[in-house]
A and B are shown apart, each in its own frame.
Chain A
Amino acid sequence: MSDETISEGLKSVPMPADLVPPHGFADSVLRRRARARGTRAVVAVVAVVAVLAGASAAIGGADRSAPPADPYPSSSADTLPDDAVPRPGGGPRVIEAFSNGWMPYLLDQRSGEYLAVPFRAEVSPDGGQVAVSDLDRGLGVAGREAYLDGGESAVAWVTGPEVTDTVGGVRSLWSPDGSKVFGATEVDAGLGDGSGRLGTLTSYDAVTGQLVVTTVPADWKVTGVVWAPDSAGYAVAVEREDGRTEVRHLTLAGVVGATVELDGSDVILVGYSPDGGRLLYENGSWNEEEGTGERQAVVADAATGRTELTAGFENGNGHGASTVGWLDDGALLMAVDPSPEEHGFVVVDAETGDFGPSIPWPTAENVSVWSVGSSAGLPPEAADLGF
């Protein structure tokens, strides 16, 4: 029997007739979770002490050892197969970090290969470090090559698991000047239904090791957070009661600064251009189930919020698209699905809104891109990974 025969055989193994979800399966899962929560309340005090102790150690920069938990490898030497990586054909930029929904990958600039890594990683602006985020561990930083070589053993975890990049629409961990990373913490919204809201933002200074926790006003309905262009604070997208969205600037000390109103509804904040002069966001509506609606990318003056450019998602057959971010001051990157089976990205001119040709992602599956960087320095045989 060949490997293929076994693979096909496993996929067609007949299953027992009673292998079905028991009646009320979701209910029983939720009840089981509720019972576990009741048990855990008994040991909550101990847990709080442990978290505070961990935070103190991290602030002092002394003990940043990784918490013991699920097994993770110290390194991951395997790569994506060559034939899984379409070659866009060369160009000044390259996708540096992405996830295919199952596994995160990071480009090894030395070899020009995408290596599987333990945690999704965002590359620092200078390309030398990575910030990682994991629901079970929190935020961490590592040297890029050390992370590629050593995996989790190279990561200094700088927060507990309560701080991650998956609360409140956090975008881009690294500050524009490359000095800091940030994550967010959720707190109970106080509505009695178990729902949460963005409670604090935590920045970590990769140079000094200092952690700064900034409290977000409790009455802010936050839909997104990015670094402010000066790296000295945050730009927080807040949905007002009238449904409009405005960006409120918040210093690390928690002082509220300028406010800029954005156009349209259902706004997703993407980020500032590298020169800080323009702000990119999405607005419009989109029905995921029906694949209908009209969404667009909007480039606005950062100081006034005045719309300078809108770029409708030219997704060919009505399939999804989304804005990934700025490539440079003159270009945006968008994800597009030319068809249900095709996934890729396009470069969009930030002055004209013109779309470039669709380029497939590095794998056949749909991906989430975490970092795009320069293709300079790639070995000659990998230069055509650039676009």
Chain B
Amino acid sequence: MKPAHEKEFRDFTAAQTPALLRVAYLLTGDVHLAQDLVQSALAACVKKWHRIDEPYAYVRKAMYRSQYNAWRSRARKPESIVDAPPERADRDHADGVAARHDLRAALARLPYRQRLIVVLRHYEDRSEAEIARMLGISPSGVRSQASRGIAALRRIHQPNATGTEVLR
């Protein structure tokens, strides 16, 4: 890598990694996995760095595609796209309550693809067309997955009568 490009890469990494980590954390639900996801995406861009017109968008796309492909290749276990959220084994455990009192925990309980699409649609504010293009699925598929994901989030993450948000 040419010194000027390396400097540009380092500047970009310093400036943008915190924002990239936030997205990666929403996708993975784990600090170390998030760091690894960002690092992998950046590493995939290093060689062609000087040819990338818009690095922020490119690195994010690399991150999403990497995550999507990883999920698709995992064990071929059928991904249940369900209307009702899966039950949690530790639902009644008091020591898990605090961790479940946030939207991120609810997000983490969504099936992989729904989680990705919800993050793209409602955290990144990307259009259905953009998500469809990025993930290689139809816009109607994006709409359907986003809708189911949001419905599941509503069920998992509901404010109770006192206004305190709890997970169901």
Contact = CB atoms under 8 A, between A and B. Distances in A.
Interface of A: 1, 3, 6-7, 9-11, 13-16, 18-22, 25-26, 28-30, 32-33, 36-37, 70-73, 75-81, 99, 101-103, 115-118, 135, 164, 166-167, 186, 193-196, 368
A10 B26 contact: yes
A310 B91 CA distance: 71
B31 A10 contact: no
Nearest to B24: A19
B43 A33 contact: yes
B17 A19 contact: no
A149 to B, nearest CB: 14
Given A78-B127, A103-B130, A21 B138 contact: no
B168 interface: no
Contacts of B21: 15, 19-21
B2 A10 contact: no
A71 B132 contact: no
A36 to B, nearest CB: 7
A75 B26 CA distance: 28
B103 A9 contact: yes
Nearest to A189: B2
B2 A195 contact: yes
A19 B34 contact: yes
Given A10-B122, A16-B25, A194-B2, A116 B13 contact: no
Contacts of B133: 72-73, 76, 103, 116-118
A13 B101 CA distance: 11
B123 A11 contact: yes
Given A19-B31, A101-B57, A116-B127, A32 B39 contact: yes
A22 to B, nearest CB: 6
A67 B87 CA distance: 42
Nearest to A118: B133
B22 A19 contact: yes
Interface string B19-34: 0011001100001001
Contacts of A166: 51-53
Contacts of B18: 20-21
A323 to B, nearest CB: 17
Nearest to B104: A13
Contacts of A6: 103, 118, 122, 150, 153-154
A33 B135 contact: no
B135 A26 contact: no
A18 B31 contact: yes
Interface in B133-147: 133, 135-139
B3 interface: yes
A77 B133 CA distance: 10
Contact of B46 (A19, A33, A118): A33
Interface string B35-58: 100010011001110111110110
B66 to A, nearest CB: 9
Give 5 closest A-B pairs by Cβ, nearest first.
Answer: A71-B136, A78-B129, A116-B129, A195-B2, A78-B139
Contact of B31 (A16, A28, A76, A196): A16
B102 A14 contact: yes
A79 B129 contact: yes
29 contacts: A6-B122, A6-B153, A7-B122, A13-B104, A15-B22, A18-B31, A20-B18, A21-B17, A25-B39, A26-B14, A30-B1, A72-B133, A72-B136, A73-B138, A77-B129, A77-B138, A78-B127, A78-B128, A78-B139, A101-B54, A102-B54, A102-B57, A116-B132, A135-B48, A166-B52, A186-B51, A195-B1, A195-B5, A368-B53
